[in-house]
Amino acid sequence: MSRDKGKARQIDGEDEGEGSGRPAHIDPSEDMEVDTGPFQFRPLQLASLVDPKSLKALEELGGVQGLMRGLGTGEKGLSAKGAREVDHGGGHGKGAGKGSSQRHERSPGDGAQRHADPPDIHTLPPLIKVTSSGSGEEDLNSIQGDDDKGHTDEDDEESSSEDPDEWGPAYRADLEDRKRIYGPNVLPQRASKSLLKLMWLALKDKVLILLSIAAIVSLALGLFQDFGTPRPDDEPPVDWVEGVAICVAILIVVLVGSINDWQKERQFKALNEKKEERGVKVIRSGAERVIDVHEVVVGDICLLEPGEIAPCDGVFLSGHNVKCDESGATGESDAIKKVPYDECIAMRDRQGHEPNHTDCFVVSGSKVLEGVGTYVVIAVGQRSFNGRIMMALRGDSENTPLQLKLNDLAELIAKLGSVAGLVLFTALMIRFFVQLGTNNPSRTPSAKGIAFVQILIISVTLVVVAVPEGLPLAVTLALAFATQRMTSEKLLVRVLGSCETMANASVVCTDKTGTLTQNVMTVVAGSVGIHAKFVRQLEENQARTNADEELEGAAPKKRRHADDFSIDQAELPGVLSPPVVELFNEAIAINSTAFEDDDPDSGAKIFIGSKTETALLQFAKELGWPHYAQVRSDAEIVQMIPFSSDRKAMGVVVRLPNGVHRLYLKGASEILTRMCGDHVVVYQHGTEDSRDTVEKLDIDELKRENIDRTIIFYANQTLRTIALCYRDFESWPPADARQVSEDEVEYEDIAEDMTLIGIVGIEDPLREGVRTAVADCHRAGVTVKMCTGDNVLTARSIAIQCGIYTKGGIIMEGPIFRKLSKEERVDVVPRLQVLARSSPEDKKVLVESLRELGEVVGVTGDGTNDGPALKTADVGFSMGIAGTEVAKEASDIILMDDNFASIVKAIMWGRCVNDAVRKFLQFQISANITAVLITLISAVASSSESSVLSAVQLLWINIIMDTFAALALATDPASPVLLDRKPEAKTAPLFTVDMYKQIFVQSAYQTTITLIFHFLGLRILGLSSSSHNDKVVQTLVFNIFVFAQIFNSVNSRRLDNKLNVFEGVTRNFYFIGITVLEVAVQVLIVFVGGAAFQVTRVGGREWGISIALGFVALLVGSLARLIPNGPVEKLFIKLRLLPDPNVLPTKSPQAEAETWNRAIELVRDNLGTFAKIRGGRMRGSSFVGKSRSARMEQGHIVPSLLTMVPTLVASSVGAGWMPQSGSLSDPAHNDPSRSTAALWEGKIQIHPDTPADDPFVKKWNARAARGQQ
């Protein structure tokens, strides 16, 4: 095909804006018509090899050789122009497909170069060339000289003539051809919104639209009244100010909100760009080169090294012991070993299925734990696994619950304000026509026109007064203030509305690895020799030692092993003798491939390699033992024994200075301990002998039982147990061992008669503060659910440690969960606390199910696999340090310190925002009702159609009610007290009973005193009727109304029935400052406002009355709080001011849907469920474990493996069987290597404290029973 035709086709989504991303799954049929140019494969055809991983699909493409041929690449990679370098000696990369190993000689500067970001290509030291003969045997040639010397493109062309079959069009394609067809390794730029567009979007708010209309009408009428009608000489033309003031308020709201969003978007964009800056090692022109990550193309040969993050999808070619951590991409916590394609095929044919935890696919976003190797790139950019998920997450956000409620409130206020304005206009017009008919008073035609305009103005003014102009400003200010303070507390809010959404969060679904835990394996317990049991932070973790285990059946109680003792892990250097410390440290340092390097992000020293080895090295480092690098450099290694899944161990043989050869082994404890005949001895307080030599004792039957019980004890806590042991040989090779080579012998011949050094228990520990954070969530009424790809035992253990798994809770596995029907999910989801072995889709379905049930869901996660669930949730939290780009892109809030405990702060600030808005509403609505009533009544009662308050006075009052009140009430800081209440449902009303009480009582009080002084002011003050005295009364009324608002703003600081309205006021300097400013400005207005405000100076009596009546507003508020809520709530329900809690909602809680709630339909369709369980027949469920053995029911035996998991299976509860936790039955006769996780596969676990008569237990127990019939 012509190149021009190919160029005409753009990469899917390249020019797409926000919300048009691709789905995360692969559908190869989508690019059937893509012009592949000189290549044999379509883009999505290659991408589908990895998602899902398909060895069969790769086989159909001709394996690795067919793939390389179709992409026009080879072992030596592409040249600078993109053409494949020809192998002169080995042909077409066959070795890559036959499991050839490859080593890379690294210069000292390689580490620094790996993390650089050079735009140009830099040549690194040449690699060892790998070829294979025709028979498939591996052959490592010597290191070549400088590959680039004398190497030109002409040389390539000359070489190609010797092998014309391997020099087709695909091999001649340049880099631009590859980018054009397969795309660049860059995601399309997300169309960022300009400041003007953000302002326009903010202006679309319903309240702002209503305000804009009111502002235009008010400004037009004000200008007409000021300049189109005659005015008295003592009245300045200031009626236009009202409309201008509303326009200014709108401008402030729009600017504050849009600038805030614009800054947040710029900050996040800069964060992403900085995160993406890195260099990648590739092989081009036969040499290693560091290029920019965005320059990688399909067909490139990339290098894998420990600590590297795979930038693209690919197929593994060759290497040595490469293991990848794909937990961030797929949720799989176990390391995945990478082997060449041919080895995968051989393993599949041998085992009958594709191998577990082993494959030949490299997933973008995964991390290399250990080993070195190469892979060919098959998908980049938005077609890679990582890129597709990133594109799928792009979408428009939906309205938050508060925004929906405020929109409804705006519509209601608009209707009520319009009705009030229409009523006033109608009443005044009726009187106007009556006056026209009676000609009383007598008016000229001009005066009649002016009177009509006055009626129109006062009616529109009433509508303007009714509209809460400060409402959007209060919301914006509260959110801006909260997000600013949250940023200082390590919470970066990406979506402004998510802050207030967290106030109503009722469920938090969290990942385990990297979120609840540190994603760093750590030694937390163990034993040195047999009897010295050490525990990390022993005082806080007494349950992690079995040194005090009692002998069953003994009276009085005796310890099973009297010689056992417990010590804190930090005390090991003081308890162990120097020879034992040296032995232990060498067993860790020498027998390991992990190493220490600089973290590219933080610059701190970290260990890189397998999680087990890094945990052991960190353990030795924390104890202050000699540095591993020095120990390794001093050791003379004779033979390396790499880890094998068959033997589950790895070892090393070293030659000691005294000529003795020592074998160090580490591996699965249940296997290696069987090979040990004796053990090192450690004394609790040490002895002279133990300090000089390594003392050893034989392992007898009792000690063997001790070892087995210790392994089981650690396994019960889901610790990964590793045994370390050694054996000394007087000569090497040993005389009775079979030799593999000159210095290497068969493993089976030397791995016996070992000496046990110790057993260590390793786990991924909880993050600091997680337990407290979970407890705070429960205190706040927020349920925490854990979703993880780990097995059920590990998940259960972490859930218990965190406090997630509680009474009534359920643990379920992903394969079971995804088989549940919709009806069963509605039943299970509310009780589900742990979802183990879950896929990203399971997590997403869980979130969707919770939202359908009306829950407000927050999701935390740090991996790519968390992306879909993060986007589906109401609020998504990602980790700023360990989080992947996918997780950050999908999230609404980024936890900059990766601390799950920050969730609690987010909930506090969310509730603070919601409370701030409600405080403002409580204040504003009462002021608005008062303003509307006094305007309506005074205008109707006035013969001149004038209101009790002038337009300029209303302007100042509106500023108090709106801008100042918003600033004062929206800036209260968050407090832990906010966690002492339950979250509100999405359908909860915006106004509570307490708010209604305050609004109506305050409105009644303010309206009454204002109208009393308006109509009876002269009589109360004992003044005669005159122009000056009328001004005094009008000033007094104005003063009374203003001070009532000022004191009511203090009263509105509380939303509950507690009387102390001053609580925490000293922490809000904004409130104090604004209150002082309001009083000062009011005094200035009265003293110097004069004609502009239509006021006059008043004496001390009037000031005293104004302040006293304003202060009474506090007393009135206290009286309102003393009114019982029950009767008031019933009244408001009858008046339909509050929803009836006994009536099911008819609208979906989903923000965008006005449809029937699916959860309610399920309840409606299954009202007979309980009747069916009691009397009818129901299909049995395979999801409930069955334990109906008579011996088990009668308690004659307790299986030891069951007691390792103190939990209940639903069916067992119904059968009356309860496991006896805390005891082990004859563990010496059980194989400690047996997996207890398999025991619970396919079962629903119910917390052991759940009562047997719990409805859920009965229901699922009945299903299990019927399933057995």
d(CA 141, CA 143): 7
**pLDDT in the model for residue 543:** 80
> What DSSP state is assigned to residue 877?
E
**pLDDT in the model for residue 1051:** 93
Determine whether 106 is exposed, middle or buried from the number of CB atoms within 10 Å of its CB (0-12, 13-18, 19+).
Answer: middle
Beta-bridge partners for 292: 279
Cis amide linkage into residue 556, ω under 30° from 0? yes
pTM: 0.64
Average pLDDT over the chain, rounded to an integer:
75
pLDDT tens per residue across span 697-755 = 999 999 999 998 898 888 878 788 999 999 999 888 888 888 877 667 888 889 899 99
For the record, the structure tokens of 616 come out as 């052991």
Cis amide linkage into residue 733, ω under 30° from 0? yes
Please state the φ and ψ torsions of residue 220, each to the nearest 5 degrees. -65, -45
Question: How many C-alpha atoms does 149 have within 13 Å on its Cβ side?
Answer: 5
| Residue carrying structure tokens 């019960």 | 716
Ramachandran bin of 73, using left for φ above 0, alpha for ψ from -120 to 50, beta for the remaining angles: beta
Angle at the Cα of 753 from the Cα atoms of 750 and 754, rounded to 5 degrees: 85
**pLDDT in the model for residue 951:** 64
pLDDT tens per residue across span 904-921 = 899 999 898 888 888 888
Q: What domains are there in the chain, each with its CATH number?
A: 39-189+279-392 (2.70.150.10), 485-517+769-906 (3.40.50.1000), 523-555+563-763 (3.40.1110.10), 1173-1268 (no CATH)
Please state the φ and ψ torsions of residue 922, each to the nearest 5 degrees. -60, -40
> How does residue 927 score in pLDDT terms, banded at 50, 70 and 90?
confident
Please state the φ and ψ torsions of residue 911, each to the nearest 5 degrees. -70, -35
pLDDT at 1211 over 60: no
d(CA 985, CA 994): 17
> How does residue 1212 score in pLDDT terms, banded at 50, 70 and 90?
very low
Q: Are 978 and 904 in contact (CB under 8 A)?
A: no
Q: Output 83 or 211, whichever has higher pLDDT.
A: 211
pLDDT tens per residue across span 152-161 = 343 444 333 3
Cis amide linkage into residue 52, ω under 30° from 0? yes
pLDDT tens per residue across span 234-249 = 667 767 776 776 677 6
pLDDT tens per residue across span 977-1035 = 889 989 887 777 888 899 999 999 999 999 999 999 999 999 998 888 888 888 899 99
d(CA 1007, CA 930): 5
Dihedral sign computed on CA atoms, order 1236, 1237, 1239, 1243: positive
> What DSSP state is assigned to residue 91?
T
Q: Are 590 and 652 in contact (CB under 8 A)?
A: yes
Angle at the Cα of 316 from the Cα atoms of 314 and 318, rounded to 5 degrees: 150
**pLDDT in the model for residue 675:** 93
Q: Are 607 and 620 in contact (CB under 8 A)?
A: no
Give the largest CA-CA distance in the chain.
134
Termini Cα distance of the chain: 66
**pLDDT in the model for residue 168:** 56
Ramachandran bin of 284, using left for φ above 0, alpha for ψ from -120 to 50, beta for the remaining angles: beta
Residue 444 has a CB neighbour count (10 Å cut-off) of 8
User: Which ranges of 277-340 does DSSP label H, i.e. alpha helix?
Assistant: 327-330
d(CA 212, CA 196): 17
**pLDDT in the model for residue 1242:** 58
Determine whether 988 is exposed, middle or buried from the number of CB atoms within 10 Å of its CB (0-12, 13-18, 19+).
Answer: middle
d(CA 858, CA 895): 13
pLDDT at 798 over 70: yes
For the record, the structure tokens of 508 come out as 């938090």
Q: Output 829 or 136, whichever has higher pLDDT.
A: 829
Q: Are 240 and 226 in contact (CB under 8 A)?
A: yes
**pLDDT in the model for residue 393:** 63
Question: How many C-alpha atoms does 1118 have within 13 Å on its Cβ side?
Answer: 9
- The listed range with the strongest mean pLDDT (4-18, 20-34, 966-980) is 966-980
**Mean pLDDT computed over 593-597:** 86
Q: Are 789 and 838 in contact (CB under 8 A)?
A: yes
> How does residue 857 score in pLDDT terms, banded at 50, 70 and 90?
very high
> How does residue 1114 score in pLDDT terms, banded at 50, 70 and 90?
very high
Q: Give, in order, the Cα–Cα distances in Å from 401 to each of 854, 889, 1104.
A: 11, 22, 44
**Mean pLDDT computed over 832-856:** 88
d(CA 1093, CA 950): 7
d(CA 37, CA 173): 9
> How does residue 147 score in pLDDT terms, banded at 50, 70 and 90?
very low
- DSSP string across 1013-1045: HHHHHHHHHT----HHHHHHHHHHHHHHHHHHH
> How does residue 475 score in pLDDT terms, banded at 50, 70 and 90?
confident
pLDDT tens per residue across span 183-203 = 899 888 767 778 888 888 878
d(CA 512, CA 516): 5
Q: Are 690 and 708 in contact (CB under 8 A)?
A: no
Dihedral sign computed on CA atoms, order 47, 51, 57, 62: positive
**Mean pLDDT computed over 1209-1232:** 33
**Mean pLDDT computed over 313-342:** 84
Distance, CA of 1255 to chain centre = 33
Q: Output 652 or 940, whichever has higher pLDDT.
A: 652
d(CA 871, CA 892): 8
pLDDT at 279 over 70: yes
pLDDT tens per residue across span 46-72 = 988 888 888 999 999 999 999 998 998
What's the full length of the chain, in residues?
1269
Q: Are 365 and 886 in contact (CB under 8 A)?
A: yes
Q: Are 365 and 304 in contact (CB under 8 A)?
A: no
> How does residue 360 score in pLDDT terms, banded at 50, 70 and 90?
very high
Is 548 catalytic? The answer is: no
Q: Per the residue annotation, which of 239, 511, 862, 962 is the catalytic one?
A: 511
**What residues have CB less than 8 Å from 303, skipping those under 6 apart?**
104, 281, 282, 283, 288, 372, 373, 374
pLDDT at 389 over 70: yes
pLDDT tens per residue across span 304-327 = 987 778 889 999 999 888 988 887
pLDDT at 9 over 50: no
Q: Output 143 or 1016, whichever has higher pLDDT.
A: 1016
Residue among 858, 876, 861, 691 at smallest CA distance from 789: 861
